[in-house]
Structure 1
Amino acid sequence: MAVGVLIGPPSAAAPGDDGPELDLGKAKVQWIDRTTVAWPEKLGDPQDTHRLVASPEGELKIEDGALEGRGEDLALEPVPGGLTDAQRAKYPHLAKGYEAYRLAEQEQEQDTGALRAALRGQVVAVAGKDELSAATGVQTPGVLDDLYAARATRAELGPVFEKDRTTLALWAPTARRVAVEIGGKKIPMRRDDASGVWRAHGPWKGEEYRYRVTVFAPSVGKTVTNEVTDPYATALTADSRRSVAADLRDARLKPAGWDRLAKPAARPAREARIQELHVRDFSAHDPTNRHPGTYRAFTDTRSDGMRHLRKLARAGTSYVHLLPAFDFATVPERRADQQRPGCDLASYAPDSARQQECVGKTAGKDAFNWGYDPAHYTVPEGSYASDPQGPSRTREFREMVGGLNRAGLRAVMDVVYNHTAASGQDPQSVLDRIVPGYYHRLTADGTVADSTCCANTAPEHAMMGKLTVDSVVTWARDYKIDGFRFDLMGHHPKANILAVRRALDALTPEKDGVDGKSVILYGEGWNFGEVADDARFEQATQRNMAGTGVATFSDRARDAVRGGAPFDEDPRVQGFASGLWNEPNGSPANGTRAEQRARLLHYQDLIKVGLTGNLADFAFTDSRGRRVRGRDVDYNGRPAGYAAAPGDALAYADAHDNETLYDALAFKLPGSANAGERGRMQVLGMATALLSQGPSLSQAGTDLLRSKSLDRNSFDSGDWFNALNWDCRRGNGFGRGLPPAADNEPKWAYAKPLLTNPRLTPGCREIEGTSSAYRDLLRIRATEPAFSLATAEEVQREVAFPLSGEGETPGVITAQVGDLVLVLNASPKTTEQRVPGLAERRYELHPAQKNGSDPTARRASYKSGTFTVPGRTVAVFKHR
C-alpha cells in the first residue's frame, strides 16, 4: 500500500458531464466484500484510475476540487463482466447500474489485517489521479460482514456474568479505541481482531456503565469520541443515561413465584385470539386501579380493567398483545419530568379544537407515546415502572407478565427492530454512534433510509440480524413472553424472521425454563419502501411468509368490512359493515347505486376469502358466478388470497393504527343511525375477523365501542384522546374534541358535525350490549373446532359458501363451516337465506347465542333449509 499526501489541482469535468462529482458527505460506492467494490456506472470517468483511500485519523477532505489529507491508497482494477451472479443475488439492488472493481492483486495478497486497519478510519473512493472525476464516501457493511461476521455472530455481547466476574463485550470493528466508564474509572477495552469485539472484565455486577467509542463518523465527517450506552444492555438508569450490568437471573429481579409461574395452556397459533393493548391506556383512566399507567396495574386483580380482561379470557381471548414496552425515546421516564395539559379539557365542546391544541403543547413531553421509537431493544421502558432508576423495570415487567398469565392470558410483545429513534450523532442514537453506517440501511447515496418513518435498520446485515434474534430470545427466555408481533416485518429479510423462529424453537423448559416452540410470531408483512418487491432481499411480506408458520396481518377483509382504504380523502367510503348500498350515507365517493352494489358484492368475495384464512388456493363460486380461487379475487391489483395454510394470515377489523372501528363507522354509517344500530354493526365487523380461520386480533376496547374522538393516528395524542374506559358510565371516548390537526385536519369538515350528533354517543346499554354479544361469539369461536381447521385441505372440505353467486343477497354472507352455518347479515332488514341442500338437516341457533345476551340474535331461527336472521346481526347455527 502506497502512503502519501494526496494534494492536487482542481479536477476537470469528466467528458460529457457538467463537472466532477466530488462530495465526501455522500457514500455512493459500496465495498461489498474483502475483494470487491460496486461502483455506480455514472460516477466519474470510466477511463480514470479508480481507488479507495483510507485515512486512519479521518483527515481526508475536498478543497478546491482536490482530495487533501494523509491517506493510504488501495488500488482497484475493473472486473470484466461486473459483479458475479452470486454477488448480484446477494445484492439485487446493485445488479444494474454498477460496475465491479476488485482490489488489485498486490492488495489482495496483503493480510486481511491491513483491510481491517483501513476500515478503522475514513474510507473514500476516488476516480482520477492528478485530476479527479469523482470522489465519494464508501458504504462498508458488506465488507465488515465478510471480515467479521463469522466470528462476531457467535460472540456473546453485552454484560456476561460468571460467578463474581462480569465481562462487558461490545462489537465495534471500526472503532479506533474503546473504553468503559464504570465504578468511577475509565478502563480501556481489549479488541479481538478476528471478531471486532472489544472486552473488559471486572467485579461489576449491578454497576452503571457506558462506553467511550472513538470512531470516524461519516455523518459529521470527522473522528469523534462518543459516550454511549450498551445496545445489549440488560438494564438502564432513568432516561437511559447509562447502562446497568444487571444479571437477569438474579433473585432480586424476580417477583415471588417467578421461576414457578404457571401459564395458560399453549394452543396452536392458528387458534390465537388476541387483544391488542397499550400498557398506559390499560389503566391510566381506570380510577379503580391502584397503579395507573404502570406495569403493576396488571397485578391489581380487583380493578375494572383486570376484571374485564378476565371476562374476555373466560370467553375465549387467549393473548394480550402489548404495544411496545421496550425502552423508547420519547417519554420522560421520571414522573416529575412529565408535563400535563394545562387546560380544563372536559370543559370544552365536543367539536372544539381547543382540546387538541392544548394536548399538542405537551406532546413529546408528557407521559404518553405508543413507543414505536426504540432506544434500547432489550430493556423494559422506564416510564411504566414505579421507579425508572434501578431494578424496578425488570421486576415489575415480570409482575405484569405474571398478572396476565394468572388472568388466563398469554403475553405478546410488539417489537420494532425495523428502525431506531435516531441515527448519526443524534443524542438518541445508540447503534450508529458505535458502528457508524452499519446498523442502518443506506440509500444509493449513503443517506439513511427512512421509509418506515424513522431511521431504518438493516437486519440483512449480520450483526443487526443477530441483535434481532438475541433480543427476542432474551424476552422469551428471561421475561417469559409468549409471542412477538413484528412492526413493519416486510422490512426484514424472511431469513431473519426464520432465524428468530429457529432460535425460539431451540428453547426448552429443561434448559431455559420456557418452551420456545409455543411462542407465536406474527407481523406486518407490508410491501413498500426501498425494499419493496424484494429489491434488496427476500422480504418477510404477506406472500413470502406463506407456509412458514409466521402470520401476517391481512388487510383484505379489513378494508372490505370498513370500506375504502385507511387514507381515503373522503372518510365516508362505505363497506360491508358500514352500510354500503343498503344504507347509503350520501357521499359521492361511494359512486352510483349500481357501482355501490357491485362493490359490495366484491367486498363480500374478499370477506369470504378472509373467512377461509386468506387461502390462495381455496376454490369457491364468487359473486359473479365464476369458479375462482382465493388468489383470483382482486385486491387493489393484488391477489386477495395469499396464504398456504390457516394461520398464515391474521384477521382484524381494527388495531391501534388508523381510526378505531367505532370511529370508522361513525364516519361511514349514515348520520341517522342510532347508537344501538352502530353497536350491532360493530359486532358484525368484529365477527368477520373473529370467525375466520386462523388467528384474529382486536384492539382493546373495541368490544366497548371505544372511540378516540375520530383520531386516526393517536401515537402522540396523550391520555385525553387515547382514554380507555372499562366502566360504561365514563363513556366510550367519543366527543372529546376535534382530533389533533397534524394527522386529522383534512377530515375535520366531516368530523365536526359528527362529534355533536347525540345519535353517536352510546350509553351503558349499547356499550355493555356490544361487549356481551361479542363475548357470545368469542365462546363460539373458542369451543367450536370447525373455526380452527389445521390444513388448507380441511378448510376446502369443511368450508363452503352455498349461496354465493349471481343471485346472492347484497349485504349478507352465508357460510357452512363444518356442522355450523354462519350468517352475517349487514343489511338493516331481516333476511331469509334458503340453502336447498340443507333442507333435510336440522339446525338450531348455537347455544352460546340461544342462551346469550343479545335479544335480537336470539330471534334468529331455522326451518326446512331456511335461516332467518334479523338485520345487523351475526348468527351461528349448529347441526343437531
Structure 2
Amino acid sequence: MTQVAAGLVSATITGTSEITLDISGSLAATAENLIVTDGDGGVLSIASISGKKIDLGGVDFKTTRNPPYTVSLKDGEYTDTVTAVLDGSLLDSWFDAGAVADLGLTLAGTSGTFKVWAPLAGDVSLLMWGETTEFDPGSAAAVAMEFDGATGVWTAASVDVSGKVWYQYAISNGAETAYVCDLYARAASPDSVAARITDISSDPETMPAGWSASYRNPFGANGTEAKPYTEAVIYEMHIRDWSRAFVSDSTGKFRDITAALNETGGKFYEHLRDLGITHVQILPSFDYAETNSNTAYNWGYNPYHYDVPEGRYVDYEGTNDGRKAVLQMREMVQAFHDAGIAVNLDVVYNHTSGTQKGSLFDQTVPGYYYRMTSTGSYSNGSGCGNETASNTRMFKKYMIESLLHWMNEYHMNGFRFDLMGLHESSTMKEIYEALSAVDPNVMVYGEPWTGGTSAVVNGATKATIDNSSASALVNGVACFNDDYRNAIKGAEFGGFKKGHVQGTFSDAAIISGLSGSLKTDSYAGGFTAKIGRSINYVECHDNYTLADKLAISLAGGISQSAWKPYASFTAAQQDELRAQNKLAAAYVFLAKGTPFINGGQEFLRTKKGDENSYSSPDAINEIDLSLKSTYSDVYKVYKGLIALRKSAGSSFMGETAASASTVNSVSGFTRYETGDYLVFFNATAAAQTLPGDAASCTALVSVDTGVPVETADIPVSIPPKSFLVLKK
C-alpha cells in the first residue's frame, strides 16, 4: 500500500449499510475514488456518499455477514486501503444474545444442545469425534447449526452424542473457516484444541473423594458469617514455585500442592497454618498459551481459554481426557479448604495471549471481543498487544459467567484482577454484585492501573474504586495501594527508588496508609470510603522481592547488577536488612486495611536480584523452605504480627479510622493510635525518645517469638529501624 496525499485514516461500520470514513487532508470521497470490498473480494455498490459517510444501499452488514470489509481510497496512482472496523456496540444493538443463558454445551443424558454466539459468521457447523488425539475435520461427525437472527446464536439442538467425546465449531467468517474449541467449554483436550463432551457438575471422573456440590468458603463459614476484608490475610503463591519446594524436579502440578497439604505433618500445611494466613492467592491457573509439551517456566499472564485449568499443571497418568484437569484442580482447592484456608484465583480477563488466529475469541467473532483503535488496530492498554472489550455486552457476560463458573464449580473464594484499570468501574460493580450474591464474603480486588495507553472509559482505578461498589455498607471492590507500598520501600517504576525503611521518608503517604487511606481523612493519598478496599503490601510476584530490593539499596546500587547474596553482607548489615524487612511487615500488618504478602516474603525470599522473573529458570523462582530456618527471627515476627492483628480484633482489623502523625516533627518517626493500641514506628537511623503518653500505657507487646507477649516494662526510647507496640 502506498500512502495517498490526503490519507484514509480509518473506516468504521456505523450502521446496517453505512461506513463512516476518517480522511486527513482535503481529498473528498467520491464514487470514482472509493472502492468497498467484502471478505470474498467482491466489490460492493455505493448508493450514495454524504461527506465522509458511505451508504451501501444494497448491503445489510447485519445479515450479509461476510467480513472483513475493506475500503480503498484512490488519489491518482496511489491507493490507501483500510479494514472497516465494526464497533462492538453496534453488534450489541443488533443482537440480543445477552438474554441467552446457556451458551456452550447443555447435556441431558446422551442428548446435547450446543450453542455459540457468532453473529458475523456465514456458516457454523458442529464437529464431533470419539476417543482420539487427532482432530481432523474430515473425520468428524458434522452437524449443521441453525442461526437465530435475533440473538446471533447458532444452535445444534438435541444432538445424539452417544460415543462422542470431543467437539469443535467450524466457524466461517468471510473466506476464513476456523476450527475452534468452544469458548464456554468446561473441560478440554490438551492445549484447548477441542472441547470435552461432559458435564463437570455431574461427571464422577471430575469429582474428588468427598467433593460436595455445595460451595465452600472457610472465610466466613460458607457465607453465613459476615466478614470484612480487613480480617483476611492474603498469601500469594505460584503453583510451580511451591511444587518444587516439595518435588525438586516438578514442572508444577496441582497434585504436588495437594499432597503437601494432605500429607500428615505436611510442610506446606504446617507452614501456612502456623503463619496464620486466611487466603492463598494463586497465580493464573486457567489454560494459557504454552502447549503442554513446553516445560518452560511462566507466570501464566497469557490467557488462551479462561474456563479450563492449565494443562501443564495436570498429571495425566497416561491419558489426556480433559477431565483430569478438572479433578486435580478441585482436589487442590478442597485440600486448602480442609486446611481452613480460602482460595483466591488470579484472573487475567484484560487481554489474551494472541489475536486473530491466536485467539479463540477472534476466531469466533472477529474483532468484537477487543477494543479497537479508529485505525482498526488493537488497543494495547495491557502492554501485551491487545485489550479485551469489557464494555461490550457479550464479553462482560462472558467474564461474569466465567467467574461464577470458578466459584460454583471449583469453590474459588475470591479473585485478583490483573490490570483491573482496563475494566470499567461499572463492569467491576456488576461483577462484585453477581459474585457477592453467591457469597457475601467473596473477595474482589485488583491492580488499579493499566499496562499502557488504553481506550477504556472510566476504568477501575484508585481514584474511581468506590464507583465499583454500591456503598460503603458492602466490602465491594478493593485495590492494591501502590502509594503506601512506594512510601514503605520505594516505587517500582521511574528508576530505582527507596522508601521509609531505607531512610527516604514519605511521611504523608505513611500516615495515610496506616490510617486506612480514607478519602475523608486529612492526609494526602486517601482514596476510598471503606478501609478494607486498600490492599496493603510491599511485595508481590512482580518486580524485586522485598529482600532483594533492600539488599540492592543497602549495597548502594540502583539495579539488579548491584544485588549480592545476603551472606556477603557484614554482620551489621545483615542485622539492618532483617530490621528493615521486619519494619516493612509491621507497616503492612498493623495498618488499617487488608494485608497481603508474597509467598516466601516471610523468610527473605530471594530471586537473586531478578526484577522480572516471569519466564526465568526454576533456580530463580522456586521456593527454598530452608530459608525459614535460616531467617527464623524474621519469620517469627511475621507470624507474631499476624497473630497480634487477629488477637487484637477491631483495633487493627476493624474499619473505624485510626490516627497517625510524626513525632516531634521528626520525619520517619511515626505515632500511630488504633483502638486499644499505641504503636511507634522508627524508620530513622537513630534511637528516638518516646513521647510522654507512651508512659501511660499498660503493657509492651512483643511479637519476636511469633506469639504476642505482654510485659509491664514500658521503654523510654525506640531503637532505629524498628517498631514498638504498646497497649493502652
Counterpart selection for 1:560 from 478, 484, 487? 487
Counterpart selection for 1:400 from 329, 332, 339? 332
Counterpart selection for 2:594 from 691, 695, 706? 695
Corresponding position: 1:774 with 2:652: no
**Structure 2 CA distance, aligned partners of 1:537 and 1:52?**
33
DSSP-derived class of the 2:44 partner: strand
Counterpart selection for 2:188 from 221, 231, 236? 236
The alpha-carbon deviation at position 817 of structure 1 amounts to 0.7
8 Å contact 1:327–1:381 — kept in the other structure?
A: yes
The alpha-carbon deviation at position 130 of structure 1 amounts to 11
The alpha-carbon deviation at position 540 of structure 1 amounts to 1.1
Summarize the Cα distance change of 1:32–1:317 in structure 2 as closer, same or farther, 3 Å threshold. farther
Counterpart selection for 2:165 from 207, 210, 221? 207
**Structure 2 CA distance, aligned partners of 1:466 and 1:803?**
48
1:30-179 equivalences under 5 Å are 30-34=12-16, 38-40=20-22, 42=24, 45-46=27-28, 48=30, 55=37, 58-60=39-41, 69-73=42-46, 75-77=48-50, 101=53, 107=57, 114-125=60-71, 135-142=81-88, 144-179=90-125
The alpha-carbon deviation at position 615 of structure 1 amounts to 1.6
Letter in 2 for 1:770: V
The alpha-carbon deviation at position 661 of structure 1 amounts to 0.4
Counterpart selection for 1:849 from 691, 703, 707? 703
DSSP-derived class of the 2:235 partner: strand
Q: Partner of 1:738 in structure 2?
A: none
The alpha-carbon deviation at position 302 of structure 1 amounts to 6.2
**Structure 2 CA distance, aligned partners of 1:873 and 1:858?**
17
DSSP-derived class of the 1:481 partner: coil
1:19-72 alpha-carbon deviations (Å, 9 max, x no partner):
3546xxxx822234558755325277346469997655x233xxxxxxxx4324
**Structure 2 CA distance, aligned partners of 1:441 and 1:560?**
34
Q: Partner of 1:682 in structure 2?
A: 581
**Structure 2 CA distance, aligned partners of 1:557 and 1:727?**
30
8 Å contact 1:33–1:146 — kept in the other structure?
A: no
Counterpart selection for 2:519 from 591, 605, 616? 616
**Structure 2 CA distance, aligned partners of 1:52 and 1:233?**
43
Letter in 2 for 1:521: V
Summarize the Cα distance change of 1:608–1:450 in structure 2 as closer, same or farther, 3 Å threshold. same
DSSP-derived class of the 1:874 partner: strand
Corresponding position: 1:414 with 2:349: no
Q: Partner of 1:583 in structure 2?
A: none
Larger Rg: 1
**Structure 1 CA distance, aligned partners of 2:420 and 2:252?**
31
1:478-627 equivalences under 5 Å are 478-507=409-438, 516-527=439-450, 529-531=452-454, 536-546=456-466, 548=469, 549-563=476-490, 565-569=491-495, 571=496, 573-578=497-502, 580=503, 600=505, 603-619=506-522
1:539-589 alpha-carbon deviations (Å, 9 max, x no partner):
1111111262201111111111112x32354x4x432112x2xxxxxxxxx
Corresponding position: 1:19 with 2:5: yes
**Structure 2 CA distance, aligned partners of 1:615 and 1:652?**
17
**Structure 1 CA distance, aligned partners of 2:248 and 2:711?**
37
8 Å contact 1:850–1:858 — kept in the other structure?
A: no
1:756-795 equivalences under 5 Å are 764-765=629-630, 767-788=631-652, 791=655, 794-795=656-657
Q: Partner of 2:223 in structure 1?
A: none
**Structure 2 CA distance, aligned partners of 1:318 and 1:551?**
17
The alpha-carbon deviation at position 644 of structure 1 amounts to 1.9
8 Å contact 1:305–1:726 — kept in the other structure?
A: no
Corresponding position: 1:811 with 2:644: no
1:612-632 alpha-carbon deviations (Å, 9 max, x no partner):
22222212xxxxxxxxxx3xx
**Structure 2 CA distance, aligned partners of 1:304 and 1:288?**
20
**Structure 1 CA distance, aligned partners of 2:296 and 2:74?**
56
1:295-345 alpha-carbon deviations (Å, 9 max, x no partner):
452343366995345444455311100000000012x42xxx3xxxxxxxx
DSSP-derived class of the 1:716 partner: coil
**Structure 1 CA distance, aligned partners of 2:547 and 2:362?**
41
DSSP-derived class of the 1:609 partner: helix
Corresponding position: 1:656 with 2:573: no
Summarize the Cα distance change of 1:520–1:51 in structure 2 as closer, same or farther, 3 Å threshold. farther
DSSP-derived class of the 2:531 partner: coil
Q: Partner of 1:81 in structure 2?
A: none
Counterpart selection for 1:253 from 180, 188, 206? 206
DSSP-derived class of the 1:813 partner: strand
Structure 1: 5+ residue runs without aligned partners? 1-9, 61-68, 79-98, 217-222, 338-364, 508-515, 581-598, 620-629, 634-639, 730-763
Letter in 2 for 1:649: S
**Structure 2 CA distance, aligned partners of 1:536 and 1:444?**
13
DSSP-derived class of the 1:397 partner: helix
8 Å contact 1:316–1:781 — kept in the other structure?
A: no
DSSP-derived class of the 1:546 partner: helix
1:185-196 equivalences under 5 Å are 185-196=141-152
Letter in 2 for 1:612: S
The alpha-carbon deviation at position 453 of structure 1 amounts to 2.8
Summarize the Cα distance change of 1:191–1:53 in structure 2 as closer, same or farther, 3 Å threshold. farther
Summarize the Cα distance change of 1:541–1:33 in structure 2 as closer, same or farther, 3 Å threshold. farther
**Structure 2 CA distance, aligned partners of 1:860 and 1:722?**
44
Counterpart selection for 1:182 from 84, 104, 128? 128
Corresponding position: 1:450 with 2:380: yes
Q: Partner of 2:368 in structure 1?
A: 438
Summarize the Cα distance change of 1:158–1:826 in structure 2 as closer, same or farther, 3 Å threshold. same
Letter in 2 for 1:823: F
Counterpart selection for 1:293 from 246, 250, 253? 253
Q: Partner of 1:830 in structure 2?
A: 687
The alpha-carbon deviation at position 820 of structure 1 amounts to 0.4
Summarize the Cα distance change of 1:290–1:177 in structure 2 as closer, same or farther, 3 Å threshold. closer
Q: Partner of 1:390 in structure 2?
A: 322
TM-score by length of 2: 0.86
Q: Partner of 1:873 in structure 2?
A: 722
8 Å contact 1:52–1:124 — kept in the other structure?
A: no
1:776-805 alpha-carbon deviations (Å, 9 max, x no partner):
0001112223345665xx30xxx222544x
8 Å contact 1:192–1:198 — kept in the other structure?
A: yes
Letter in 2 for 1:371: G
1:801-827 alpha-carbon deviations (Å, 9 max, x no partner):
2544xx333332220111101122233
Structure 2: 5+ residue runs without aligned partners? 130-139, 221-226, 470-475, 556-568
Letter in 2 for 1:862: I
DSSP-derived class of the 1:811 partner: strand
Deviates more, 1:440-449 or 1:714-723: 440-449
8 Å contact 1:829–1:870 — kept in the other structure?
A: yes
**Structure 2 CA distance, aligned partners of 1:244 and 1:50?**
53
Summarize the Cα distance change of 1:852–1:524 in structure 2 as closer, same or farther, 3 Å threshold. closer
8 Å contact 2:633–2:704 — kept in the other structure?
A: no
The alpha-carbon deviation at position 494 of structure 1 amounts to 1.4
